[in-house]
Structure formats: structure tokens, C-alpha cells
Amino acid sequence: MSQRPSRHYVRQLAERADEVRRKGVTIVAIQATKIDEEKLGEWVKENNIPFPAGMIQGDEEKTRFAWGVRSLPWLILADKEHIVTAEGFGMAELDERISSHSTP
């Protein structure tokens, strides 16, 4: 939540949370840099974020590398078996990515 582009993405996802949920998608926000957990919780509450938001607890550099994150914000779409089907795309592509990876 410490970067403006990431805050913007989270707010956009919050605005579309019900719509995306109806498509069978669960949203989870992960803070990828160390910040005060209380401040994160306050920001989530103040901005009415309707989905879980947490923070990487261990080595955030190592975790971002393991996840293949190249920049922040970084969207990751996984299927019901938790297999990544798309990553690193923008909000404008979200609907297309969900549709192309949904199961009939």
C-alpha cells in the first residue's frame, strides 16, 4: 500500500469485487514490502477493501523472486487448483484473462 499504483489497483479491485466474485474469482491482496501491520489494517478499513489483505512475513525479496514478481503492482490469476494461469497483466486485461481461463 506504500506505492500509488498498487493502491490504485487495490481500490479498482475493491470497486469490482462483487462482479469478479460472481465470476468465481477470489481476490487476495498481498503487501510485498514491509510496512507497519497496523497501518495496513487501517488503510484497508478506511478504503473499505472487501477482501483479505495481508503482508509477506518472511524475506520479501526472496518471496517476490520465487513468485516471479517483476514490478509492483503484480496481478496473478490462478485456477481452482491454485495453478497460475496468468500474471503480470494490467487491470484493463482482467476480464479477458478471467474469461480465457475460466472452466466451462
- Indicate which CATH number applies to the domain containing 21: 3.40.30.10
Q: How confident is the model at residue 96 (pLDDT cuts 50, 70, 90)?
A: very high
The pLDDT of residue 2 is: 79
Distance CA 49, CA 35 (A): 18
Q: Structural domain of residue 66, as residue ranges?
A: 4-101
Tell me how many domains the chain contains. Answer: 1
Decide if 65 contacts 86 (C-beta within 8 A).
no
Percent of the chain with pLDDT over 90: 66
Q: How confident is the model at residue 63 (pLDDT cuts 50, 70, 90)?
A: very high
In this prediction the pTM is 0.83
Distance CA 53, CA 29 (A): 4
